[in-house]
Chains A and B, each alone.
Chain A
Amino acid sequence: MITVTVRSFIPPSKPMGDFRLGEPFEMTIPEPFTVGDLARSLLSKNVNQIGILAVNGKPANEDAILSEGDRVDLYALLDGG
């Protein structure tokens, strides 16, 4: 198992007690685990809201394998206003 820091601007499709939108929190995940695996496990069906994934501040694709201490950012698709 490894621990990564996650910040998601997409809410999980089902309420999670300790989830805070846009605020970092730690997740412990098995190895190997991809960014896509993490997003699916966290967001459930809201995974389809993902626009950009980042690992350690750089754009990543869903297949990227996560390592201990990585920081993962999940951004939604749309904005405006």
Chain B
Amino acid sequence: MGNEKMNGYNGRFIRVNLSQAKVSIEEPPLDYYQRYLGGRGFIVPTLLKEVPGKADPLGEENKLIFALGPLTGMPFPGSGRNSVGAKSPLTGAMGEAEAGGFWGAELKRAGFDAIIIEGISGSPVYLWVHDGEVELRSAQSLWGLEVAQTHSEIQKELADQRIRTAIIGPAGERGIRFACISNDITHIAGRTGLGAVMGSKKLKAIAVRGKTVPPMADPEFIHALSRDMGQNFKERAGVWKYGTGYLMEGYSLGGNLPGFNFQDGSFDEVAKISAQAVCDQFRTEMYGCYACPLRCKKRVKIDTPYEVDPIYGGPEYETLAAFGSNCGISDPRAICKAHEICNRYGMDTISAGVTLSFAMECFVRGYLTTKDTEGIDLSFGNADAMLKMLEQIVIKKGLGALLAEGSRAASREIGQGSEEFAIQVKGMELAMHDPRMKQGLGLHCSVNFSGPDHASAIQDTAFVKGPGFEEMASIDVTESIPSTELSPRKARLLYHAGLWTHLPNYLVTCGLVPYTKKQVTEAVQAVTGWPMSHWRLMKTAERGITLGRIFNLREGFTKEDDVLPKRLEMPQRKGNLKGVAPDQLREAQRIYYQMLGWDENGIPTRGRLVELDIEWAGHYLNPGPS
């Protein structure tokens, strides 16, 4: 692009081969950074090139990649995040997740843009990255420790309380398929089971500490952006007061709050489990992420009937709904305890909650009995039973061992048609947004390469009208479309708006900070000094989407895997929205494929690979692109 400077980045990746206990530093060229930007953009092509097809996700050939973006660590809100990816042990597809907090910003200050982990260590280790130095250290004494203990022990060992950590808990060590990676105890890269990959490599943690922020091309712009958000965030969004989940009552009214394993779209007792209710009764403080004034994370403390340790934070929307309405549970104390258990041992609350709601429905239908559950009455609404079974998952005991494999694997074992109400796509459980209410989100969830990832999905309600709707013309969205519509024009919406909603995964920024599209684009320009336009940014996202698709095709996924659970074809039992029509979904998918430059089987065409300047990836298609 004519500007040869590398502002905003360090220009260095760490590569760690755990089998050989070897650390090396790589310096990718400028055009690599400009083409892929960061986050998923770094992760997806690396996994496609370096992980052989059909590799065991928990084996030596899989690689685990932590990646930052151009904006990571820059002094403005939403820049503290990091992305992490590997072949997922939950789905067998490309897996990716992000976490907030401070770890990403700290890694940038420590002098690196990404860490590629390969091989398997002979004994437990952790990685210590500080001010340009990288060191592998023994984690023998940390193995088996809970998340908060591990964090504390590492800070003690390295004698620095400002060290940031990305840690797995016992769930990751035990290979629970929805184990997560925890940044500083409570900022979670939850989805696709990447904690199990880290555990399979015997890597307990990555500790980081750094003091040097890479230069920005236009620091004054970034400082002004930060000041603007700091002065005005309370007038732009409401999430700062109670955190996510503050709109649950509205969600329930609109049919978007999953209830009783997605049988319902609303929950009569929602007011008892909303973020507001939790804050009013149990909150000790709100806290936040690097350089962010929103402070949308809540910390809760409960003494009875369940002791909930505030060190593990507090439940956000997905957790409140997954363990609450979706399990028919109206006791917020039980939800907070379930959240604490997941954070203590390192598990994704969405997959854990939806796998439990699946087991509850099996129990209610008689597909599972007290003989299977070792006497636990796993009925919907039984909070004690939900917590007991969650603990059984943690230790992989009895039915818990099966549920630790996720709802798809469990439904295959239980059979009897239970596959129809295992609420998963490609093996990963849906987040707490009902595709019957948000049908474009459903279309996204059916196709997305890392499974039903709600964070990069479009939220259909935003395209009826809403903040900045007029600004959407800048990404060629000019037409208001009802949330419950599924049609060719919704596919067009998903194509255009979806590329934009994927973008935070490449910039590795937070979607909850209410920036305008213009501000986002200008921030990238101000940090890098590159002439990035909306169009170039969206094409970066499309490049990643296409490469992720090719990865999955190589793994044997086909268009037949682009389906939603049968349950979602049925109308909501409570909430009154009709089901997703399979023929409409298939037609919208077909048109969406075409817009992405994929053929009728969902295989990227050569023309689109050339257009995206990733023709090299055609090598991984068999047969090659048409």
Which residues of A does B touch, CB under 8 Å? 9-15, 21-22, 46, 48-49, 51-52, 54, 57-59, 73, 75-81
Contact = CB atoms under 8 A, between A and B. Distances in A.
Contact of B253 (A12, A15, A59, A79): A59
A21 B466 contact: no
A79 B467 contact: no
Given A48-B465, A48-B466, A81-B243, A73 B250 contact: yes
A12 B238 CA distance: 10
Interface string B96-139: 00000000000000000000000000000000000000000000
B338 to A, nearest CB: 16
Closest 4 CB pairs of A and B: A75-B250, A81-B244, A81-B316, A52-B250
Interface in B300-357: 316-318
Contacts of B467: 46, 48-49, 77
Contacts of B296: 81
Interface string B142-174: 000000000000000000000000000000000
A13 B237 CA distance: 10
Nearest to A13: B235
Contacts, number: 92
A64 to B, nearest CB: 14
Contacts of B247: 9, 51, 75-76, 78-79
Given A11-B234, A77-B467, A52 B459 contact: no
B454 interface: yes
B235 A52 contact: no
Contact of A80 (B235, B241, B455, B465): B455
Contacts of A13: 235
Contacts of B238: 9-11, 21-22, 76
Given A51-B247, A75-B250, A76-B247, A22 B242 contact: yes
Interface of B: 234-239, 241-251, 253-254, 276, 296, 316-318, 431, 433, 454-455, 459, 461-462, 465-469, 511-512
A14 B253 contact: no
A22 B279 CA distance: 12
Contacts of A52: 250, 253-254
A49 B253 contact: no
B246 A9 contact: yes
A53 to B, nearest CB: 9
By CB atoms of chain B within 10 A, which of A11, A57, A77 has the most?
A77
Given A9-B250, A14-B235, A81-B317, 11 more contacts: A9-B247, A13-B235, A46-B467, A59-B253, A76-B250, A77-B466, A79-B251, A80-B244, A80-B459, A80-B512, A81-B245
19 contacts: A13-B235, A21-B238, A22-B246, A46-B467, A54-B250, A57-B253, A59-B253, A77-B462, A78-B462, A79-B245, A79-B251, A79-B317, A80-B317, A80-B459, A80-B511, A80-B512, A81-B245, A81-B318, A81-B512
A77 B459 contact: yes
- The residue among A9, A49, A80 with the most chain B CB atoms within 10 A of its own CB is A80
Contacts of A81: 243-245, 296, 316-318, 512
B18 to A, nearest CB: 32
A52 B465 CA distance: 12
Contacts of B468: 48
